[in-house]
Structure 1
Amino acid sequence: MDPNGEYLFRIRTVKAAPIRTLSEALKEILTEANIEIDQNGLKIMAMDGTHTVLVHLRLHADRFDEFKCAQKYILGINMINLFKLVKTMSNNDSLVMFMEKRDTTKMGIVILNGEKQMETTFHLNLIELDINPIEIPPVQFSAIITMPSLDFQKIIRDMSTLGETVEITSASNQLILKCRGDFAEQETVFSVGQGMAVSKPSAEIVQGNFLLKHLVLFTKCTSLCSDISVYLKNDYPIIIEYSVAGLGEIKLALAPAPSKQGHGKS
């Protein structure tokens, strides 16, 4: 794996800025998580503390500039502490993650800046997490919609100032978002041909109510890609999928809001 055989795994990418963005989004949703690393790539499958949000991240080994890992390792990470280390990374930086054979209680992080000839190394303490593996059965979604990530971010942020929940409806070739608050109501309709595409149109009306505070956190991933995929099914969590700058994908699932939440602010 390496000339001196000192690493259990070593990963390198020039896409340091997207990894910073991803870390910032994840630490808002997950305080702690197990990161699974094997020869195929890097994976996180975890639920938030409220058991309302599911995070499924997969970064593929062959899309990194270097990915050397002979077997599977599970790393318990405090996501807030991880972000504290990588938040200074810029667009010109490269990122290296590694684990040394001599100390498996830490994950090494190296931030490289070729222009400044500067190299910064951190050793992040790993934590023991007693988390049961999550298995998700295959699901046939009623509607799959592709739309600009910036449009979705704007609508969700705007609506979060009006109310607590958003009603999301897919009908024919339209995606309709409605929010009702104490002082105003908002309805925004996206139609095919306005930057939106329906890859799996449904004859049935698919509808659900979701808490905006969680969707606002999802939109912290906006800068990772230009378009998102929205997966909808009646009486089922909504899934928002972002591409992670070509390295892989992150799917964020949000359970429907309890009916007692209504539409308005309390």
Structure 2
Amino acid sequence: MTNFKCKLADCQKFKRIVDALKDLVSDVNIDTSATGISLQAMDSSHVALVSLMMNQEGFDYFKCEKPATIGVSIGNLSKVLKLANPEDSITLEFDEDPSCLTIIFESSTNSKSTTFNLNLLTLESENMGIPDTEYTSEITMNSNEFTKICKELGVISDTVGITTTLDYVEFSVTGDIGSGNIKINTSTGEIDQSGNPDAKGDKADVLVELSFALKYLTMFTKAAPLANEVSLQMSKDTPLVVQFEMSGLGNLFYYLAPKITDGEETDAS
């Protein structure tokens, strides 16, 4: 008996989500329920965490008889998705006591269908509760611009400093060849000073100043094709939150621990 079945007319959207995960995490538990599909997973170094929620309203078809958790290899899932053509739809389904995830690709003309049964994994389930945090700064910017910044600065250094004020956000690096920064004016209101909305005083006052590993930020930019804008949420001594809101489908969050003074990252959990 089929316990879970969902369909997306745009297979490429699902492929982009998997691409946004595969460099960061390998094996994950995927939770299915009446509200949608979700997962939380941490990278092997415990520096970064990813949280995905795909709402049932965003699917072309969605049925879940009862909540379930399945273990999936993201790398193997990515390989299977290469069987799909760009215009194909994708259907995912599994039975009540599943040993595999059935993946079906169908052409837009219904002239061709491809079915693959992906073997599931038995993984330990880890509850990684994400605490509610009131962030000092929230920066919203173009996803492609964020990708470009991470790529360009990554050539100079493996660490980027991010500084926010009421007027701007600054990305700065220092490497063997020199130093540099990219400053983006946010006086139009792209920074939401939600942590202290009634603050007064010098607009040049620094709200948050933290450093992060650029290799992780570059991994996060794999999600840029999923959303036109990206939100960066920051507070002192807390993980950076990088959010991509997938229109109509849900949200993809990344959490990245800041670097500390000796150059080592803290644990994101």
Residue in structure 1 matched with residue 227 of structure 2 by the alignment: 225
Residue in structure 1 matched with residue 31 of structure 2 by the alignment: 36
What whole-Å deviation, never above 9, does each CA across 1:48-106 have from its counterpart, x for those lacking one?
A: 111101111000011111110021110101110011111343442111000134x6110
Partner amino acid for 1:64? F
Residue in structure 2 matched with residue 50 of structure 1 by the alignment: 45
Q: Secondary structure at the match of 1:51?
A: coil
Q: Does residue 100 of structure 2 align to residue 106 of structure 1?
A: yes
Distance in 2 (alpha carbons) for counterparts of 1:70 and 1:7 = 8
Residue in structure 2 matched with residue 3 of structure 1 by the alignment: none
TM-superposed CA distance for 1:248, in Å, is: 0.6
Distance in 2 (alpha carbons) for counterparts of 1:243 and 1:90 = 25
Among 223, 236, 258, the residue aligned to 1:256: 258
TM-superposed CA distance for 1:261, in Å, is: 2.7
What is the correspondence of 1:135-174 to structure 2 with a 5 Å cutoff?
135-174=129-168
Q: 1:109 to 1:140 in 2, by over 3 A?
A: same
What is the correspondence of 1:1-266 to structure 2 with a 5 Å cutoff?
6-101=1-96, 104-115=98-109, 117-192=111-186, 197-200=190-193, 203=199, 205-261=207-263
More displaced, 167-176 or 241-250? Answer: 241-250
TM-superposed CA distance for 1:158, in Å, is: 0.6
Q: 1:187 to 1:88 in 2, by over 3 A?
A: farther
- Show structure 2 runs of 5+ residues with no match: 200-205, 265-269
Residue in structure 1 matched with residue 202 of structure 2 by the alignment: none
- Asked if the contact 1:141–1:231 (Cα under 8 Å) also holds between the matched residues in 2, the reply is yes
Distance in 2 (alpha carbons) for counterparts of 1:33 and 1:47 = 9
Distance in 1 (alpha carbons) for counterparts of 2:106 and 2:193 = 43
Q: 1:192 to 1:90 in 2, by over 3 A?
A: farther
What whole-Å deviation, never above 9, does each CA across 1:126-171 have from its counterpart, x for those lacking one?
A: 1011132111121101111110000000000111110010000111
Partner amino acid for 2:212? F
Distance in 2 (alpha carbons) for counterparts of 1:163 and 1:131 = 36
Distance in 2 (alpha carbons) for counterparts of 1:184 and 1:117 = 57
Q: Percent identity?
A: 27
- Asked if the contact 2:137–2:207 (Cα under 8 Å) also holds between the matched residues in 1, the reply is no
Partner amino acid for 2:190? A
TM-superposed CA distance for 1:200, in Å, is: 3.1
- Show structure 1 runs of 5+ residues with no match: 1-5
Partner amino acid for 1:176? E
RMSD: 1.8
What whole-Å deviation, never above 9, does each CA across 1:165-189 have from its counterpart, x for those lacking one?
A: 0000111121110011100212001
- Asked if the contact 2:143–2:229 (Cα under 8 Å) also holds between the matched residues in 1, the reply is yes
- Asked if the contact 1:169–1:208 (Cα under 8 Å) also holds between the matched residues in 2, the reply is yes
Distance in 2 (alpha carbons) for counterparts of 1:88 and 1:192 = 43
Partner amino acid for 1:20? K
What whole-Å deviation, never above 9, does each CA across 1:195-221 have from its counterpart, x for those lacking one?
A: x71233655521110000110100011
TM-score scaled by structure 1?
A: 0.91
Distance in 2 (alpha carbons) for counterparts of 1:239 and 1:85 = 30
- Asked if the contact 2:166–2:187 (Cα under 8 Å) also holds between the matched residues in 1, the reply is no
